Amino acid sequence: MTHPVGAAIQFSRVSKSFGPVDALRQLDFEAPYGSITVLLGPNGAGKTTTVRLTTGALNADAGSISVLDLDPATGGTEIRSRCGIVPPKPAFYDELSGWDNLQFAARIFDASDAAAREAAERFDIAHALDQEVGGYSTGMRTRLALARSVIHDPEVLLLDEPTAGLDPESSRAVLELIRELAGKGRSVVLCTHLLHEAEGIADQVVLMDSGEARAVGPPLELAGRYMADPIVVFDAEDRAVLHQLETSSGVLRLSWNGSVQATLDDLDRLPDLVTDLVNAGARLTRVEPLRPSLEDLYFEMQRAHREAQ
Amino acid sequence: MNWHHVLTIVGTNLKRLYKSRDYWIPLTILASLFFVFIPLILLVLLSNSPTTPVLTQIGEVIGTLPDQVQNNIRGDSPGTRTAYAFAVYLLAPVAIIVPLTISSAVGANTIVGERERGTGEFLAHSPLTEQEIYIGKLIGSLIPGYLATIVGFALYSLIVNLVVGPQIGGWFFPTTGWWILIFWVVPPFIAMALSVVLRMSARVRSAAAAQQASTLVTLPIILLSYAVSTGLVYSQAASAFVVGLVAWILAYVGLRSGMKAVKRERLLGVASEA
């Protein structure tokens, strides 16, 4: 699918308060068309408020928002008809069947019953559509919520903590949906505090805390920005000999966590370090340059922010 | 406004109500009590009682009614005349209290319930306009009360004609006043009550609070409607029509202003003023 160039979602210095609580403080970020953007942050970071402002369910106090080239404050109805959403705790009319709930959504989004049936089959919930939703498990409810979110083939999909409380199978279904939709050129925004969830699927990460975007960019770019120094994991049969690294030139930091993670000033130091350790009698069992995970990145960014303050 | 969306909300609301037996069974019992059982027992007792001190006392009360009304009371025996007066004049408020009670009970929960369940989040992120949500909730709350009234009215008419009719020469009910009451006056009174109840439902924090608040707020409307309905069946059709017209105007104004109470932030439960 071809899609416009530019940002599907654009937040520019957006602020939102609830009474004395500042939920968002001059939030800036862009979610490009056809990309997966992960809003990453702890509870209370402002992720849900960001989603609610995106669809125009809430209005910003200050700043400007553009979604699909529309302003949610004035074009909210059209934006909402082109967005799909999976809220953190999907709620349904429990006394009605899964089908009744899906049909309700289909009619509101002007989608057909066939589209509702297809969405249910896609998320493997079609077999339970005759049952009352009140009897569904958490996983079934999430599958139904996923089906409901794509019933109208949305251009933007907003998933707010979609895997909270889910079994691994259902979590995987969510991540598969995200990849599939992005593959079709849809724009996906995933809110999560689970770092492993964002790992590997994020085209762009927005690290949020206290209503602010602390860092925005592709994971690799952020890794280069915040974790420029390479890390190498060492392990040996006799770990005591690894203490020698503490005095080796080019080693900036060491952290012990079973094995040893050494932060180097340059990866070209590695052959010399290995030679020195072997000469000192070390029988090395692991020497592995570490590609920083999103978790490493997250904590490094948090550390950098604290230091900057 | 997209009426397809409105009807979707109405249909879903009614389906949910139908599935919630704990909710509609007591309301049905209430309607049956007022429209069927109490009138049936009263009318049978009055129609078949010989002259008793109670009948004499009731006859004295009827004697205080306007001459025009007294002239319209049919029947030869005191028992028949009393039964006729009860059926046509004294039980009229039932026709308005029952729908108001049922619709208020349904309406009080309708918006705050969305918030409590979390389904308000879906509505807030949906393409539905606030106006469509409001109108959908209004009609979805009005129908159960009014439907109960129509069914109850039909049953009541049957009972009155079967019990009192044979003693005054045949079927006579509904009278003109009752037709106007049921089809012209009752609907705007329900709408008026709902304009207040839905406003409460959108603003309060819990369904329990909505129920309590709506009871208090609708009480004056119930009292007013009691007085109006009693007066209407005594009066000329023209004046009943005018009263209905005024009620429609007031209902329209109430509903127009009440529409503003439904806001997306309230469906999400984040309105600071809620």
**DSSP conformation letters of A181-235:** HHHTT-EEEEEES-HHHHTTT-SEEEEEETTEEEEEE-HHHHHHHH--S-EEEEE
Taking the C-alpha atoms of residue A293 and residue A253, their distance in angstroms, rounded to an integer, is 18
Report the pLDDT value the prediction gives residue A29, as an integer from 0 to 100.
92
Report the pLDDT value the prediction gives residue B274, as an integer from 0 to 100.
35
Give the A:B interface size as CB pairs under 8 Å.
Answer: 73
Phi, psi of A62 (to 5 degrees): -150, 160
- The answer to whether residue B273 sits within a structural domain is no
Put simply, whether A89 touches B (Cβ < 8 Å) is yes
Report the pLDDT value the prediction gives residue A28, as an integer from 0 to 100.
93
Contacts of A159 (CB under 8 A, 6+ apart): A85, A86, A149, A174, A178, A188, A189, A190, A191
Q: What angle do CA A183, A188, A190 make, to 5 degrees?
A: 125
**Segment B152-187, tens digit of pLDDT:** 889 999 999 998 888 888 888 888 888 888 898 889
A91 and B127 in contact by Cβ < 8 A? no
**Segment B93-120, tens digit of pLDDT:** 777 788 888 888 888 888 899 998 899 9
Q: How many separate domains does chain B show?
A: 1
Q: Can you give the three-state secondary structure of chain B, one letter per residue?
A: CCHHHHHHHHHHHHHHHHHCHHHHHHHHHHHHHHHHHHHHHHHHHHHHCCCCHHHHHHHHHHCCCCHHHHHHCCCCCHHHHHHHHHHHHHCCCHHHHHHHHHHHHHHHHHHHHHHHHCHHHHHHCCCCCHHHHHHHHHHHHHHHHHHHHHHHHHHHHHHHHHHCHHHHCCCCCCCHHHHHHHHHHHHHHHHHHHHHHHHHHHHCCCHHHHHHHHHHHHHHHHHHHHHHHHHHHHCCHHHHHHHHHHHHHHHHHHHHHHHHHCCHHHHHCCCCCC
The conformation of residue A45, written as its DSSP 8-state character, comes to: S
For A31, A54, A94, A203, A228, the CA distances from A183, given in Å and listed in that order, are: 15, 22, 33, 12, 30
A93 and B119 in contact by Cβ < 8 A? yes
Rounded to an integer, the average pLDDT of A21-37 is 92
**Segment A38-64, tens digit of pLDDT:** 998 888 889 999 999 999 999 999 999
Biggest alpha carbon–alpha carbon distance for chain B: 68
**Segment A275-300, tens digit of pLDDT:** 999 999 999 999 998 777 777 777 77
Taking the C-alpha atoms of residue A140 and residue B158, their distance in angstroms, rounded to an integer, is 50
CATH architecture, range A7-224: 3-Layer(aba) Sandwich (3.40)
- The answer to whether residue B29 sits within a structural domain is yes
Taking the C-alpha atoms of residue A242 and residue A236, their distance in angstroms, rounded to an integer, is 7
Q: Enumerate the residues of chain A whose CB falls inside 8 A of the CB of residue B14.
A: none
Put simply, whether A91 touches B (Cβ < 8 Å) is yes
Place of tokens 């004056």: B220
Taking the C-alpha atoms of residue A16 and residue A24, their distance in angstroms, rounded to an integer, is 5
Three-state secondary structure call for residue A144: helix
**Segment A95-129, tens digit of pLDDT:** 999 999 999 999 999 999 999 999 999 888 999 99
Q: Residue B2's closest chain A neighbor by CA?
A: A108
Using the predicted structure, report yes or no on whether residue A1 has a pLDDT greater than 70. Answer: no
Report the pLDDT value the prediction gives residue B230, as an integer from 0 to 100.
67
Q: Where are the domains positioned within chain A?
A: 7-224, 229-291
Put simply, whether A131 touches B (Cβ < 8 Å) is no
Q: Are B145 and B190 in contact (CB under 8 A)?
A: yes
For A74, A280, B57, B193, B199, the CA distances from B217, given in Å and listed in that order, are: 35, 87, 35, 8, 11
Report the pLDDT value the prediction gives residue A198, as an integer from 0 to 100.
74
The conformation of residue A237, written as its DSSP 8-state character, comes to: S
Rounded to an integer, the average pLDDT of A187-206 is 83
**Segment B73-89, tens digit of pLDDT:** 787 777 788 888 888 87
Q: Residue A59's closest chain B neighbor by CA?
A: B265
Q: Which of A18, A100, A108 sits opposite B128 (nearest CB)?
A: A108
Enclosing domain of residue B34 = 3-268
Report the pLDDT value the prediction gives residue B233, as an integer from 0 to 100.
61
Rounded to an integer, the average pLDDT of B5-22 is 93
CATH of A229-291, one of 1.10.3470, 3.40.50, 3.90.550, 3.30.70: 3.30.70
Of residues B109 and B236, the one with the higher pLDDT is B109
Peptide bond preceding B174: is omega within 30 degrees of 0, i.e. cis?
yes
A91 and B19 in contact by Cβ < 8 A? no
Report the pLDDT value the prediction gives residue B273, as an integer from 0 to 100.
43
Q: What angle do CA A65, A67, A69 make, to 5 degrees?
A: 100
- The answer to whether residue B107 sits within a structural domain is yes
Residue A210: HSE in the Cβ half-sphere, 13 Å Cα cutoff:
4
Q: What angle do CA A203, A208, A209 make, to 5 degrees?
A: 160
Taking the C-alpha atoms of residue A254 and residue A277, their distance in angstroms, rounded to an integer, is 15
Place of tokens 């809220």: A87
**Segment A238-281, tens digit of pLDDT:** 888 899 998 898 898 888 877 898 989 888 899 999 999 999 99
A57 and B268 in contact by Cβ < 8 A? yes
The rounded Cα B57 to chain-centroid distance in angstroms is: 30
A58 and B268 in contact by Cβ < 8 A? yes
Taking the C-alpha atoms of residue A4 and residue A33, their distance in angstroms, rounded to an integer, is 7
Interface test with A, best of B6, B16, B112, B126 (most A CBs within 10 A): B126
Using the predicted structure, report yes or no on whether residue A3 has a pLDDT greater than 60. Answer: no
Put simply, whether A74 touches B (Cβ < 8 Å) is no
Mean model confidence pLDDT for chain A: 88
Three-state secondary structure call for residue A90: coil
Q: Residue A106's closest chain B neighbor by CA?
A: B8
Q: Which of A62, A36, A143, A151 is nearest to A102 (CA)?
A: A151
Q: Are A249 and A224 in contact (CB under 8 A)?
A: no
Helix spans in chain A (H): 47-54, 72-82, 98-108, 113-122, 138-150, 168-183, 195-198, 219-226, 270-279, 294-308
Rounded to an integer, the average pLDDT of B147-151 is 90
Put simply, whether A55 touches B (Cβ < 8 Å) is yes
Q: Enumerate the residues of chain B whose CB falls inside 8 A of the CB of residue A96.
A: 12, 15-16, 19
The first and second tokens of residue B122, run together, are 């879906």
Report the pLDDT value the prediction gives residue A118, as an integer from 0 to 100.
94
